[in-house]
DNA sequence: CGATCCGATGCGTTTAAATACATCAGCGGC
DNA sequence: GCCGCTGATGTATTTAAACGCATCGGATCG
């Protein structure tokens, strides 16, 4: 019965060790006794959800219920983010999925498919690029903004599925597309100048915090 | 205190209602009393992890601890899979991230970067395609196989980071690449025949079960 | 109206999580 | 050798989850 939550507790323990925390250090962070953490990690207790959330948060993890369908994708994302390099491309790609949905819907509208199509093209191009740390950070910011705009459009289109894009959305999309194009151009320029015999993907092995 | 697990319980309730289940029906599936489910959904109890897992499983959800970094991506994936259309492209894209990691590593080896590079190219091309339901299903299968091969290579390369690809891996990659190329060709052919004035992205609005 | 089905709630009992505190064995360093 | 830190374990107490069961008010339908 309790064997069912072993994957969870193993993840917890692995995350703690990956962060170089002792049980006592985590205990202080999360506000629970060390003895409890020990019992949890050894699978001796069926901890309550609030405890699980507390511990997860202290380890920069988030408890989440994911549809069975996308579990492999989430695992791949998590693996990618755990192993060395940042999982930044997949982050954008996930956003892109939403964008695709919206772009398709918008393509059937009378007027306003153009800005979405343009943005879509830029993102598709960006996906094939290798970005340095700075560009990645910029991309992350833009992706968040895109996400906000898209969600707003989605919510609104529930009421008026065939409404054309309003002026503000149009401008937002154009601006975001311009930002993406800039990233694309920069990345292209970067790739065109092989400074070393090997283009030196490696960047820095770098930070690990939020 | 208990307000912290409201997102979880809300997800639970939303999933139950989305599946058209009553509390009693879910209770029977998950093997817990209906009264308990009611108290959980109303946030009156801090349920234990095993209960949470049981309920989640009965709703085709999986309890998961995701790194804070990729939470937005996971949310986007989940939203995409919840809203009508299947989240298939992101699934492949997540796999592709792993492939990129491996391809980069392999590119620094003496011998065997070629098959990985070829596969990478095929996947990058596929990402820009629109696939019908049948092709998507095929892609999902291939993606799983790719994932297996990649994980095997990753595990092995921990011991011998500079070992060239073995014969079997070479053949597996070639075969998988051929499958991908076939999908690409089919999709290209499909796109080249605009049956309607609009190329008809829409496909069918289609099924919603697992 | 009566018949159902829904989710919410009350109650009593059992089981166990969570806590505080002390202590243990194992292990590396001085 | 001793010291300090790790995680594991013991004990006693308090709190609450989980259960079974009954019941309630509220829709909805015939």
B117 touches chain A (CB under 8 A): no
Any bridge partners for residue A48, and if so which? B48
Nucleotide closest in space to B42 (CA vs C1')? C8
- Identify from A40, A63, A73 which residue to disrupt to test chain B contact, counting B C-beta atoms within 10 A and taking the largest count: A73
**The pLDDT of residue A199:** 30
B210 touches chain A (CB under 8 A): yes
**The pLDDT of residue A33:** 93
Confidence category of residue B118, pLDDT binned at 50, 70, 90: low
State the nearest Cα–Cα gap between A30 and chain B, in angstroms. Answer: 13
Q: To 5 degrees, how large is the angle CA B87–CA B93–CA B98?
A: 135
Locate B105 and state its tokens.
């590593």
* Gyration radius of chain B's alpha carbons: 22
Q: pTM, whole model, 2 decimals?
A: 0.59
Any bridge partners for residue B61, and if so which? A67
Collect all residues with Cβ–Cβ distance below 8 Å to B94 and sequence separation of at least 6: A72, A73, A74, A76, A77, A80, A90, A93
Q: Report the DSSP pairing between strands A61-67 and B61-67.
A: antiparallel
Strand D nucleotides in reach of protein CB atoms, 7 A cut-off: 5-11, 16-22
User: Is any atom of strand C within 7 angstroms of residue B41's beta carbon?
Assistant: yes
B141: pLDDT strictly greater than 50: yes
* Gyration radius of chain A's alpha carbons: 22
**The pLDDT of residue B26:** 93
B87: pLDDT strictly greater than 50: no
- Whole-angstrom distance, CA of residue A101 vs CA of residue A151: 11
Locate B178 and state its tokens.
């051929």
Render pLDDT for B144-162 as a digit per residue (tens, 0 to 9): 777 777 767 766 655 555 5
B187: pLDDT strictly greater than 90: no
A93 touches chain B (CB under 8 A): yes
Render pLDDT for A6-45 as a digit per residue (tens, 0 to 9): 999 999 999 999 888 999 999 999 999 999 999 999 998 9
Collect all residues with Cβ–Cβ distance below 8 Å to A61 and sequence separation of at least 6: A11, A12, A15, B65, B66, B67, B68
**The pLDDT of residue B128:** 56
Confidence category of residue B205, pLDDT binned at 50, 70, 90: very low
B123: pLDDT strictly greater than 80: no
Render pLDDT for A116-128 as a digit per residue (tens, 0 to 9): 656 765 665 565 5
Mean pLDDT: which of A94-98, B15-19, B115-119 is highest?
B15-19
């Amino acid at each position: 019965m309790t064997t069912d939550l072993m994957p969870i507790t193993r993840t917890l323990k692995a995350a703690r060790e990956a962060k170089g925390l002792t049980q006592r250090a985590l205990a202080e962070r999360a506000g629970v006794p060390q003895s409890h953490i020990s019992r949890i990690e050894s699978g001796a207790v069926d901890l309550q959800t609030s405890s699980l959330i507390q511990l997860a948060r202290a380890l920069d993890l988030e408890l989440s219920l994911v549809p069975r369908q996308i579990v492999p994708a989430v695992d791949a994302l998590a693996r990618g983010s755990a192993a060395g390099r940042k999982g930044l491309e997949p982050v954008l790609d996930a956003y892109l999925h939403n964008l695709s949905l919206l772009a398709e819907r918008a393509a059937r509208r009378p007027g306003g498919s153009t800005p979405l199509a343009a943005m879509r093209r830029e993102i598709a191009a960006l996906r094939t690029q290798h970005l340095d740390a700075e560009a990645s950070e910029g991309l992350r910011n833009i992706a968040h903004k895109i996400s906000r705009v898209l969600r707003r459009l989605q919510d609104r289109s529930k009421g008026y599925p065939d409404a054309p894009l309003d002026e503000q959305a149009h401008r937002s999309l154009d601006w975001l597309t311009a930002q993406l194009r800039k990233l694309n151009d920069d990345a292209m320029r970067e790739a065109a100048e092989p400074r070393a015999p090997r283009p030196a993907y490696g960047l820095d092995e770098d930070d690990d915090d939020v």
